[in-house]
Structure 1
Amino acid sequence: MRIRSRAVRVLTATALVLGGTTAATGASAAEAPVTVQSCYGSGKSFTTTNKVWPAYPNWAYTTSNCADINIRPNVTVQVQTCWKDHSCNKLRTIRAGEWGLAATDVYDGSRFYLKFDRNVSGTIAY
């Protein structure tokens, strides 16, 4: 995953808080907690309908949680990421029970759906 400036700011703020002060206020860590959520920590369950997620005619939108679209399927699958302009990335194979990349370096707010070679369920983080 690529590093984003927002992530750098959050990590810097976390380091300052853990160090006992914040740059703006000098507050202690107990007074100014910072929560950092990992990309995979923002994952949610998914299940395909007709080998597509989300089910037609819905779209998913990338978020600032992850720089990539990541899936952990319950079976080994081939997946394509398709975009608003109807173009699709090449097929990628992702092994059962392992996190894999469906798409990399995605822009926040990009509209997409995933096409699989079979119906599948698992976890997705984007």
Structure 2
Amino acid sequence: MRTRSRVAPFALAAVVLGSGLGWATTAAADPGSAAPAVALSCYGSAKSYTTDSVGFWPTGSGFAYTTSNCADINVKPTTTRRVRVCWKTSGTCNAYRNAPAGQWTVAASDVLDGSGYWLDFEGSGVSRGQVAA
């Protein structure tokens, strides 16, 4: 008799956990949920930025580096700005792109992981926002 009373709670717990795993598996297997997970990974790893008074980030002599989280360099400024990406290896920059306030904008696309870069915001003045790369 005592054996059954101990087994019943464990059996119930296994059923509850098993059904929860079934839900998680179903959600993960849904092809429609794959794309949002990738986007969340990229934007979820975003960092806050504040430029210097000339419009460069990172400030000083350092560089930012791309990661495997994002295929692009994305910026989300708090005010509308024009931004371009400049590359550590070549010192060249791409064309300025308009980045509307509060919206994610691709500043550079199809970037290699581990690439050193800095952001150059057109005009003088401090810019704040987020960057995901």
Residue of structure 1 in register with 2:30 after alignment: none
Residue of structure 1 in register with 2:92 after alignment: 87
Aligned residues: 96
Structure 2 distance, partners of 1:80, 1:56, is 17
Unpaired runs of 5+ in structure 2? 1-23, 27-36
Structure 1 distance, partners of 2:69, 2:86, is 20
Residue of structure 2 in register with 1:41 after alignment: 44
Higher share in helix: 2
1:112 aligns with 2:117: yes
Deviations 1:21-73 (A, max 9, x none): xxxxxxxxxxxxxx975200111110001210001301011000100000100
Residue of structure 2 in register with 1:62 after alignment: 66
Structure 2 distance, partners of 1:111, 1:47, is 18
Structure 2 distance, partners of 1:57, 1:74, is 24
Q: What percentage of aligned pairs have identical amino acids?
A: 48
Q: Once the 2 structures are TM-superposed, how far is the Cα of residue 105 of structure 1 from its aligned partner?
A: 0.4
Which has the greater radius of gyration? 2
Q: How does 1:24-39 map to 2 (within 5 A)?
A: 38-39=41-42
Unpaired runs of 5+ in structure 1? 1-17, 21-34
Structure 2 distance, partners of 1:90, 1:120, is 18
Residue of structure 2 in register with 1:6 after alignment: none
Q: Once the 2 structures are TM-superposed, how far is the Cα of residue 19 of structure 1 from its aligned partner?
A: 2.7
Tell me which stretches of 4 or more aligned residues in structure 1 moved more than 3 Å.
Answer: none
* Superposed CA RMSD: 1.9
The aligned amino acid for 2:81 is V
Q: TM-score, normalised by structure 1?
A: 0.70
Structure 1 distance, partners of 2:51, 2:75, is 12
The structure 2 residue matched to 1:124, chosen from 114, 127, 131, is: 131
Structure 1 distance, partners of 2:62, 2:95, is 21
Structure 2 distance, partners of 1:56, 1:91, is 21
